[in-house]
Amino acid sequence: MEQQPLVEFELTVEFRARFQEALDEHDADFIRKTLQDVKPADITTLLYEFTSEESKYVMDLLDIETQAEIISDLDRDTRKRFLKVYPPSEIVNFLNQLASDDTADILNELPIKEREQVLSGLEPELKMQVTELLRYEEHVAGGLMAKELIKARYNWTVVECVNEIRKQAENVNKFYAVYVVDEQDVLLGRVALQDLIVSDAKTLVADIYEHDVVSAETYLPDTEVAEMMKKYDLESIPVVNVQGQLVGRITIDDVVDVITEQAEEGRQIMAGITENIEEDDSVWRNTRARLPWLLIGIFGGLMNAKFMGLFEAELVRITAIAFFTPLIQATGGNVGIQSSSLIVQSLANPDFVDEGLWKRLVKVFFVAILNGVFLSLLVFGANVLLFGEYRLSLVVSLALFSVVLFASFIGTITPLILNKFGFNPALAAGPFITTTNDLLGLTIYFFTVHVML
């Protein structure tokens, strides 16, 4: 709690240029003075603009707590790159300042040999906590929790509780409640700090604790932890093992990160980008992240070409049928994406009762009929006006109607199948469904043409 003025830090192009200059000149005074009142999270933002070596120069001018906070703020990829310029002994110094969950995350990112070196250098208490945390997978409650928490026995008084808080307060960064346990460390409930403050010193914890607390088992997937915390509006959640013993706690800020990552991942899948990249990553990374889906699209396109080749005779006879392939394919693609993303959305929301495949399909079918009828009629009218060919217009509209129906079906069934076999159903909301529907649309269209013209 240092005395600091309320400064708003804003990163501008000018400031960055001035800072770069100071870095080039090794102007330690300027850097120290500039960063004096800036919050660690803002310094983190600033460091993204410079190389690892430059960043280390800046870091070395800061106190160790600030350095540690910046390290834990950095995004994973930057941190991996950045920590390469640090010897294990310096990494140990950072980690000794951090909470067990952040320490475990960072250790997990280090190469195995370095990880062992760093782990063995940690302070005994932290080392024990982190060793336990490293046992858990990354994307479950156990991998998300911190070991630091305030524990109270149910037969304590409020004043005993406050004494425990005094003892623990320096280890535990932020806390909003004290967790109540029995002799076997089994979680019984919690006392919110606000209730502790207004209670009389001699009151028994047993008389004021909330019994109906929501807790997460260590193996609960992180997305479900997020859903629980959202649903019950929790700022922290205790984590218990299979015996019901309290083993850690998860705070909302970690869960916000889970929610954000999940959303970003979903968006990237839909956009057909396979790695978690950002616009300012290198040209090579950007290219590599885009190529896989583009290749799938190209493969689909080549199959389309080969397929159309089978109908060369028809195309030679009536060239105009080629005009409508984009219309058919675009509609199929759009309908497929719409359907699949709605299914992906409801699969991600555990609050729904699964009404079963058939009810789902019946509904999708009716929506498709409505959309299909409307669009086909419209296209029929437009085609008659634009091209004046009744027969071809009829064929196009009939094909369009079938494409809407089939694309809805494929868009609905694909994420359900992916989900059933343990794949991320969101994959179906990306270029995969578009490519499939492109081929499907073409098949339906040329089949209709073949039969009717």
Residues 147-186 that bind a second copy (CB under 8 A): 162, 165-166, 169, 174-176
The residues in 244-303 that bind a second copy, with binding defined as CB under 8 A, are 251-253, 255-257, 259-260, 262-264, 266-268, 270-273, 277-280, 283-284, 286-287, 290-291, 293-295, 297-298, 300-302
Give 73 or 126: the residue with its C-beta nearer to a second copy: 73
The residues in 218-247 that bind a second copy, with binding defined as CB under 8 A, are 229-235
Give 119 or 327: the residue with its C-beta nearer to a second copy: 327
Give 263 or 417: the residue with its C-beta nearer to a second copy: 263
Q: Could you say which of 338, 389, 416, 424 contacts a second copy (CB under 8 A)?
A: 338
Tally Cβ neighbours within 10 Å of residue 442: 23
Smallest distance, a second copy to C-beta of residue 117, A: 29
- The piece of 104-112, 113-121, 128-136, 309-317 that touches a second copy (CB under 8 A) is 309-317
Buried b (16+ CB within 10 A) or exposed e, 339-367: bbbbbbeebeeeeeeeeeeeebeeebeeb
Q: Is the dihedral of CA 75, 76, 78, 83 positive or negative?
A: positive
The residues in 13-52 that bind a second copy, with binding defined as CB under 8 A, are 13, 16, 37, 39, 41, 45, 48-49
Q: Could you say which of 51, 81, 155, 326 contacts a second copy (CB under 8 A)?
A: 326
Indicate left, alpha or beta for 216 from its phi (over 0: left) and psi (-120 to 50: alpha).
Answer: beta
Q: Could you say which of 103, 331, 419, 436 contacts a second copy (CB under 8 A)?
A: 331
Smallest distance, a second copy to C-beta of residue 35, A: 14
Smallest distance, a second copy to C-beta of residue 263, A: 3
The residues in 194-213 that bind a second copy, with binding defined as CB under 8 A, are 194-198, 208-213
Q: Could you say which of 31, 85, 134, 192 contacts a second copy (CB under 8 A)?
A: 192
322 counts as binding a second copy under rule CB under 8 A = yes
